[in-house]
Amino acid sequence: MSNTPNLLEQQDGFSSDYEAENPIVSALDLSSDAEVRVRLEALHPADFSDFVEELTDAQRATLIERAPELITGELLAELDDDVVEDVLLLLEPHLIANALTELDSDDVTQIMEEMEDAQREDVLGAMQPLERAEVEASLAFDDETIGRLMQREFVSAPEFWTVGDTLDHMRETGEDLPDVFYNVYVVDPRLRPIGYVPLSKLIRKSRTTTLASLMKEKLVTIDQNLDQEDAAYLFEKYHLISAPVVNADGRMVGMMTVDDILEIIQDENKEDILALAGVSEAGITDTAFETVKSRAPWLLINLGTAILASLVIARFDYAIEQIVALAVLMPIVASMGGNAGTQALTVAVRGLSERDLTSATAWRAIRREGVSALIIGIIFAVAMAGIAYVWFKDWRLAGVAFAAMIINHVLAGLAGILIPLGLKRAGADPAVSSSVFVTTVTDVVGFAAFLGFAALILL
């Protein structure tokens, strides 16, 4: 009945079954193709797709050859983008077109995106004209916009309909309704959404109740050109399960549902966290070469900024030659500033993506960063001065460390919030390049303040 417990044991990892056997691999050992099919059909589609993702290309080819009926539209929709690309290459166009007929239009579009141009043409050619037109309309929208992601199947009704009318209509329409849906959208004569009735309200009411009397009017609609991240924000903020998508005239042209939004949210979160670390992309099936490609560019930029910091040190080489303790202590100042800057930066980037950090709260946040950076700076300046004195028995060196630490902390805190705010205002993604700027500031300022004061006071 439920495959939950098993799943969690297996996935939570690092237990006894460290190299658990993939059930597809063991099924392919069976001699009869029918047995293979029966065995694998028992899996939940989401589990089946996970196991397909773990197979080699040769194993996938064997699976397709021995049990082609298992390659359903649902499976293709479940697979990771990288994997679906590989699997599609193993399939005939008519087989793909067939598999896609069972899906809602949003899933079809998502799969078509992963095809190469020639294959996409072949599959479009093998589709029903109406389905084909829908897919082509979706693909005409920009990547990551709602027009591309929405499904074109939805249920709408005029406000004068009764509950009875609506239920009868849905029974008659049957297969042409969306696979699953949660709301009936009430539209005006020009097909503009004006309210909605959750199914769970509709079925509680008598057949004679009108939709007009039932519908909720505080409706959040989504423009078909809206970016997916903005749409995800609306779903979160208004706790939406589904929302009508409208065109420039306000006419309802599609529907977004929360399951697709969940994926978008995870993708956007992943993008943010990876961008902060300077990684452009990461997937389960990455090769070492892809890993290098996604990380080397930021390391190259970091090399540049590290050299900048080194130039600062080189500028004060005469001071280090005379007082080697400076070389010993200087990385502490830079490292503390770098970490404090990263803390402020991460909080700011997260606040921007959650939209807690807005025009209304920006000044308060900047003030808070400034004040807390000063407090933290003083705390650790005292600690640092103590360490410098205990270690090198020199009050003046301790004083230099004290002053450099405060300055670097305050600048780190301010850079940590002002840089992402500035990037956002300039229309750039604050997660992508903030780290470079912030750590450059803290390294350069850290070394310059510490060595500069030292040169002034100690020499």
Residues in 250-269 at the binding interface with its own copies, rule: CB under 8 A: 258-259, 261-263, 265-266, 269
Contact 138, 148 (CB under 8 A): yes
Give the nearest distance from C-beta 457 to its own copies in angstroms: 19
Closer Cβ to its own copies, 49 or 138, answer by number: 49
Nearer to its own copies (CB atom), residue 123 or residue 362: 362
Cβ distance to its own copies smaller for residue 91 or 275: 275
Q: What does the alpha-carbon distance between residue 214 and residue 246 come to, in Å, rounded to a whole number?
A: 22
Interface with its own copies (CB under 8 A), residue from 137, 273, 366, 458: 273
**Is 53:63 a contact under the CB 8 Å cutoff?**
no
CB of 231 to its own copies, least distance (A): 10
Number of residues that bind its own copies (CB under 8 A): 147
Which one, 152 or 424, has the nearer CB to its own copies? Answer: 424
Sheet holding 183-187, edge to edge: 156-158, 183-187, 193-198
Buried b (16+ CB within 10 A) or exposed e, 378-409: eebbeebbeebbeebeeeebbbbbbbbbbbbb
Q: Which of 34, 38, 133, 284 binds its own copies (CB under 8 A)?
A: 284
Chain residues 316-355 in contact with its own copies, contact rule CB under 8 A: 317, 320-321, 324-325, 327-329, 331-332, 334-336, 339-340, 342-343, 345-347, 349-351, 354-355
Q: Of 377, 368, 443, which is closest to residue 410 (Cα–Cα)?
A: 377
For its own copies, the binding residues in 400-459 under the rule CB under 8 A are: 421, 424-425, 443, 447
Q: Which residues, 361 to 380, sit near its own copies by CB under 8 A?
A: 361-362, 367-369, 371-372, 375-376, 379-380
Q: DSSP letter string over 118-178?
A: HHHHHHHHTS-HHHHHHHHHHHTSPTTBHHHHSBS---EEETT-BHHHHHHHHHHHGGGS-
Element (H, E) at 372: helix 362-392
Identify residues 137-176 at the interface with its own copies (CB under 8 A).
167, 170-171, 173-174
What binding mask, one character per residue, do residues 62-101 give for its own copies by CB under 8 A, x or -? ----------------------------------------
Stretch that binds its own copies, among 5-13, 81-89, 109-117, 142-150 (CB under 8 A): 5-13
Rounded to an integer, what distance in angstroms lies between the CA atom of residue 51 and that of residue 44? 11
Query: Which of 124, 309 has the CB closer to its own copies?
Result: 309
Contact 245, 150 (CB under 8 A): yes
Name which of 161 and 233 has its Cβ closer to its own copies: 233
When the beta carbons of 3 and 213 are compared against its own copies, the nearer one is 3
Length in residues, the chain: 459
Q: How far is the CB of 331 from its own copies (least distance, A)?
A: 6
Q: How far apart, in whole angstroms, are the C-alpha atoms of residue 182 and residue 242?
A: 7
Cβ of residue 25: shortest distance to its own copies, in angstroms? 11
Residue among 62, 119, 291, 433 that touches its own copies (CB under 8 A): 291
Looking at residues 13 to 32 of the shown chain, list those that interact with its own copies (rule: CB under 8 A). Answer: 13-15, 17-20, 22
Query: Rounded to whole angstroms, how far apart are CA atoms 138 and 142?
Result: 9
DSSP string, 91-129: S-HHHHHHHHTTS-HHHHHHHHHTS-HHHHHHHHHTS-H
Report the C-alpha gap between 283 and 279 in whole angstroms. 11
Residue of the chain from 86, 113, 122, 236 that contacts its own copies (CB under 8 A) = 236
Contact 222, 246 (CB under 8 A): yes
To its own copies, the closest distance from the beta carbon of 436 in angstroms equals 10
* Contact yes or no for 271/144 (Cβ under 8 A): no
